[in-house]
Amino acid sequence: MAKIEKIELRMVDLVPKVKRTDAIQSFVSQETPIVTITDSDGAVGTGYSYTIGTGGSSVMRLLSDHLAPRLIGRDPDMIEAIWHDLEFATHATTIGAITAIAIAAVDTALWDLRAKKQNLPLWKLAGGAKDRCPLYTTEGGWLHIETAALVDDALAAKAKGFRGSKVKIGRPHGSEDLARLSAVRKAVGDGYEIMTDANQGFSVDEAIRRAARLRELDLAWIEEPLPADDIDGHIRLSNSTPTPIAIGESLYSMRHFREYMQKGACSIVQVDVGRIGGITPWLKIAHAAEAFDIPVCPHFLMELHVSLTCAVQNGRYVEYIPQLDQLTGRHMRIEDGHALAPDEPGIGIDWDWDAVKAMSIAEFTTAITKQGN
């Protein structure tokens, strides 16, 4: 039986290709923790997660000081046991972003290792529901972008076969959001989906008011209209509008998702593997959502989420935001507006290790080969 012998830790700080703004923040940097695990058979698995510019150093210290040393000598196939052990070892800091992001990088590496040793792509190992999934794009819909450019981007995406475009909302007055979205709807017609995202920028009353104004546009969803921990507010909003309410990118616990689904506080789940703690809890939430007849449309991380969305029956969309092009050789394949599930064994990411090593921050580059190293 193979044992984990070595863990390598790196962090790369990526600058987004385009300016990214929403109702509450600008996304100017993507800190990307990368974990590589080698077992005694010489098999290697690599996982990663991300921040949007803050907390990366804390994630790396949590990995190097507390989590990675606990992996040495473990059976890498015992992914469930390892996940729960790491969660318990950090129980004083859970549930929260730093711990979830750190555990996610480890868990994803273990799944990559398992899939490679079984000579299977992740999407088949984790379920194999389908080999492709529709795409919608977000990159042309940021809040600072002028209306004409929003329209041009949506028309270009539609021409490529994409199924929808996301437009950020949260302008100072609801009339501005309505005008921008109305222009997009007029241009793309009724058969093309328009997703919206408020990034937790509204109060309950303002969200109800804006949802009512936007109702005529037949939106695919309103994403994160309220602070993520306001379940009662989401219940009020969901009961007030026929427009689907999407949540999940800012939730860090399976139990939070359970509460949202049980209480009818959402109609679309956007569980993010990098924020929920990895593939292990991601799959549990996706299967729970299927029991509630709720689709899964994961947030961000398209290079990884294409495999998970294809793994489960209720995976509906992959969000198109390229993030790893600077670090990979082969990029995600797209055909007629669909993301194709990778054929290669593992999580399907072709790391360009020369680029990864060249861009790694030396301060956070560590190799651990024994307890306490």
Rounded distance between C-alpha atoms, residue 163 and residue 158, angstroms: 7
Rounded to whole angstroms, the Cα distance separating 287 from 95 reads 21
Q: Where are the alpha helices (DSSP H) in the chain?
A: 56-62, 79-89, 97-117, 122-125, 147-159, 174-188, 204-214, 231-240, 254-262, 273-276, 279-291, 302-311, 353-359
5 three-state secondary structure: strand
Q: Structure tokens of 165?
A: 């475009």
In the set 117, 158, 299, 338, the catalytic residue is 299
CB-CB contact of 227 with 203 (8 Å): no
Query: Is 299 one of the annotated active-site residues of the chain?
Result: yes
Environment class of 307 (CB within 10 Å of its CB; exposed 0-12, middle 13-18, buried 19+): buried
202, 228 contact by CB (below 8 A): no
168 a catalytic residue: yes
DSSP secondary structure code for residue 315 in this structure: B
Distance CA 78, CA 71 (A): 11
The single residue of 158, 166, 168, 256 carrying the catalytic annotation is 168
112/15 Cα distance (integer angstroms): 26
> Would you call the peptide bond into 52 cis, given omega within 30 degrees of 0 as the criterion?
no
* Cβ atoms of 165 and 157 closer than 8 Å: yes
Four-CA torsion 194, 199, 201, 204, nearest 10 degrees? 70
Annotated active-site positions, please? 168, 299
